[in-house]
Structure 1
Amino acid sequence: MAIRAVQQIMLGSVTKNEKETLETLNRIKKAGYDGIELNGFMIRPTSFLVRIMTKMAGMPVGKGGNYDWASLVKQAGLQVVSVHEDLGTIQRESDTVITEAKNFGTDKVVITGMYRFDYSDKNTVLKLARDLNEAGKTLKQSGIHLLYHNHNCEFRKVESEKTAYDLLFENTDPDLVGFEFDSYWPTEAGISAISLMKKLGSRMKLYHINDRGTRLEGASMTPILKSDSMELGYGNMNLKELVTQALRVNVDAIILESHKNWIDKSPLRSLEVSSEFMNREIQGLS
């Protein structure tokens, strides 16, 4: 059965010190999750600028860079499903990334897209595919698998019939580069998530799950509503179909990553509500 996990980016506001962090991880375990997905910039000391930028985006990273995450995760009875890293860090410090992943007991490192990057430029995207192949080759030599995580930027057209995501899929070596598919972002971009999942097939090793809808606290000012992240089952995405496909190709983990639009403005309350869907549907379909 696929591991049910939570992405660490949700937890910056509830991991202010090691005591609170352990309480948060214990609460995640109690809700029925089995694991956590960590981020390099949250488990190592980060610059003030990075902390400010993520806080402004509504997802504060906190000051957990000095915590003993391996011990905290183990105490809570969770497992690390993967570590998110940026491509530059993997290229510059591959030995550090490999050692860190192994210390956490995971064989997966995930690249979460590129910053200040033109996904509409074909040559630029093709170079990225080559860089991913090289990084994947380096990691594979030490038993670590490289995965690529999408947002919505990869669905920009580079040709009349192809997106950047198409190019990355077609020009990366299946033996060196897999995918952590996030179904929220293609849906947000107007792309069929289920079609992409079927195209990825067994190259999809991890699945990021979220729901998309509208939360209102009163009457709407206009007849047009803005969609945002929602707890699982409370939005309009066909999550059962998506989970079924993910399990069909034997993904190793299904990972919750909701954004700042949390119920009661609480990431913990939000992940607990989403766990009802995770526990019911994933167990039921496995």
Structure 2
Amino acid sequence: MKALGVQRFGSKDELTELEVTHPTVNEDAVIVEQYATSVNPLDFKLREGKKPDLDFPVVLGSDISGIIVEKGENVTKFSIGDRVFGVTAKSRQTYAAYVSVPQDQIFRSPVNAGFLEAAALPLAGVTALQNLQDRMQLTDVDRLLVIGGAGGVGLFAIQIAKHLGATVTAVGSSDSQQLMKDAGADEVIDYKQQPVHTLSKTFTAIFDCVGGSSQDELFPLLERDGCLLSIARDPSEQLARKHSVTAAFTAISPSQSLLSKLCALYESETLTVHISETFPFTERGVQDAHEKIEKGHTKGKLVMKIQEDEER
């Protein structure tokens, strides 16, 4: 079976086409024929060796978008032929023609989404939804600051926060201002024209999708008892105590419930997907995608088309 991944950790040049064993189905899982997947920052971090104990070859990728072709005897919610989307708890194995996945890590694809759109939703969408809805528990009294508002997670965060009733200020580059406005941000900031730490307003919550040393400058912008969640860097516990706020680095816990909510938000057009570029399912294609996402400043999502017939 064709897959893309690495035989050893390193740069994007280590990415290569692999011939791996076709997955087998267990009683609680399904086999999905992949039509598309997406490329996330986590992928290049794993490629570089973030989890050094992985066994080679390592097939990268988290996002599932395709059609069920086999199912285990305990799978009752899905049928062969169903279009599904999802995210693997292992955060890998989806740069492949087929993937085995537990039934509780997938959901039916939104009826108004093609395979590419469905591939762009799971990891980034679950990340935004779980952090803003479940962990921050945003409501209409909250004022949220999104750092990195034009990225894959950031754009979903803006839309979900607005759905939850919050007032949203989004930070990004000069060429991403309109994109963040279109996503629903009440205010957008070009960080080169106005450094975030110079803002005169305060926020009840901050969602940091970028990380870096400038994160420390965010703490004075939080109201007392406010919350800073980061998907990119561990926040300073010392600064959190100093400013009487909570702060944490978060990792997602994918669930069928969250995928169900994402599906409903997309079908109601509350949530839209911005795909900035599509790459072929080839060695060169995945190398180009990793090169682009490593540089940062990606707007929306990068997806990889695995099957040519997207509208099957």
Give the TM-score normalised by the residue count of structure 2. 0.26
**Larger helix share, 1 or 2:** 1
User: Greater share of strand residues, 1 or 2?
Assistant: 2
